Every structure is written in C-alpha cells, then in structure tokens.
Amino acid sequence: MHAPVQIDLPETRLNYELRGSGPAIALVGSPMTAEEFAPLAEALAADHTVLTHDPRGHGGSVLADRSVGSAPEQRADDLAELVRRTGLGPVAILGSSGGAVTALAFAQRHPELATTIVAHEPPLLELLDDREEQRAMTDRMRRRYADGDVVGAWGMFFEQANIVVPDGMLEAMFGGERSPSALAEEAFWYAQELPASVRWEPDEEALRRGPRIVLGIGEESAGQLCERTTEALAARLGLTAMRFPGDHTGFVDHPEAFAARLKDALAYPHALR
C-alpha cells in the first residue's frame, strides 16, 4: 500500500503510508515528511514493513489549531497512536534530525512499542558546553524570520549547523514565490517545532531502561553541529556512534546505501542494549 491513509487524533489528522512486508520499521522526520523518506522506504520495503508519516502540521497531517505546538513528546504520542492503530508494534524506529528527537522521546514514553531506536543526528543543543551561545543564536535566527527576513534566517540556520551552502542556493530555495501551505508550515516550524526540538533534554535513566538505542552520524558530517550533539549524547549514554552514508540528509542523498547501513544498525553491537 503506497497511497496515503489518514487517522484522526484529538489534535491532528495524521497522514501515513505503509510499504512492503516483514519486520516493521518506522521512518520519522521533523519537519521532514513521508515524501522525503520515500526512496529510503522503497529500499527497505523488500524485506520490511515500512511506516512513514507526515508529522503534525506538515504535509497531509493537518493541525486545526497550530498553537497546540509540536513538542517531541506530542510527536512521539502521535506516532505511538499510529503504531497502535496499524497493529505494527513493537517496531524499530529510525528518526533523523528533529525526527531523532521524536524517536528518543518515543523511547522514553512508549518503550513497550519499540524494539530498536536508531537516532540519526539529533540536534540536542542543550547537551553542548556552549548551550547558552547556541540558545541565543537560535533566538536571533527566529527573530530574524519573524521580522520577515526569510533568506537571512535560513542563512543563520545553516551557519549555526556549520553546513556550507553553495552561493545562490538559499535565494533559490527560499527567496522566490512559494505556496501558502509551504510558508505556513515553515512559520510553524520556526515558531514552535524548532525550539521545542533543539531545547529538549533526554532523560538518561529512562533511555537506559527502554528499548535498544543506536546513535548515528553521517560520514560526511565531520565538524557539523549535529555531529557534536550526537557525540555528546553518546558520551552520556556510554555509546559509540555508528557512521551512516552521507551527511545530515544522507537518507535522502544515498537511500540504498543508507538502507543497507540501517539494517546493519539493527544488529549493531555498540548499542545501549
């Protein structure tokens, strides 16, 4: 089944897709939607049942009231209800970027529904020694966006992430005319989803009691902010992070190789459990 299906929850209508057959795995993003994970899902579907969905407030997962927000706990609860209603649990979960924060929150709140959590580059800025500087930078970036300088705000975002963007790309991506829905989702992310994700702090003891955890970092992410945050979490949990193809968006750029590495991760020896 590839056509999107929807379920209604108290705060949102969740849009999701199922592919393949075999052991269940959920691919989770924030703000990335099922569309961004589709190539990876196809690569996994030969021997897995693959669940993808649009997180609340993005794509087909409509929020009637965006002021209810998008904290990692809320997104984890959305996913848990989706797993229950589809009857897939317990599932393995790959979460990337903000979706990795969702996956870690899921491990804390719904450990009975997960087998292995693979958290790929969670942007947990509060774990860093320079957290106050990072917090201030995030606030300046969000103010710049709220003041209407969209391209400037995205420039600050990539500067903070220490990701080099080719000349002209930001203007091409964010400076032209875009759909009202895309603009609304972007504004929601800057106002609520982004700060809730980067300021989330994991409960180390809860993670130790929960499902098996693997932390992932892109092979091309050296020196980037999310390499630092993932290594900081690995140090706290006594783990060795696993390297995945590509950088922060390796699952988009190298779906076949990423899928093969993800299958390795499900039996990775240096996980928490």
Give the span between the Cα atoms of 156 and 168, in whole angstroms. 15
Confidence of residue 4 (pLDDT cuts 50, 70, 90): confident
Element (H, E) at 234: helix 225-237
Q: Measuring CA to CA, how many Å separate 211 from each of 34, 69, 109?
A: 24, 27, 11
CA 35 to chain centre: 13
Average pLDDT over residues 85-98: 96
Structural domains for the chain: 5-128+200-265 (3.40.50.1820), 131-196 (no CATH)
CB contact at 8 A, 84 and 32? no
- 136 confidence band (pLDDT: 50, 70, 90): very high
- Return the higher-pLDDT residue of 270 and 230: 230
The residue with greater pLDDT, 178 or 268, is 178
> Which tokens is 128 given?
């860093």
pLDDT digits (tens, 9 = 90+) for 45-60: 999 999 999 999 999 9
> What gap in Å lies between CA 2 and CA 17, rounded to an integer?
6
> pLDDT per residue over 25-35, tens digit each?
999 999 999 99
**b/e 29-68 (16+ beta carbons within 10 angstroms → b):** bbbbbbebbbbbbbbbbeebbbbbbbbbbbbbbbbeebee
With a pLDDT cut of 70, the percent of the chain lying above it is 97
Q: What is the pLDDT of residue 3?
A: 72
Going by the DSSP 8-state scheme, the letter that residue 268 receives in this structure is: -
Mean of all residue pLDDT scores within the chain = 95
Sign of CA dihedral 195, 53, 37, 62: negative
User: Is residue 185 exposed (0-12), middle (13-18) or buried (19+ Cβ within 10 Å)?
Assistant: buried
Give yes or no for residue 273 having a pLDDT over 50. Answer: no
Q: Residue 175 has what pLDDT? A: 87
> Structure pTM?
0.95
Three-state DSSP class for 85?
helix
- Could you give the C-alpha distances from 33 to 10, 30, 126, 234, 257, in angstroms and in order? 20, 7, 25, 26, 20
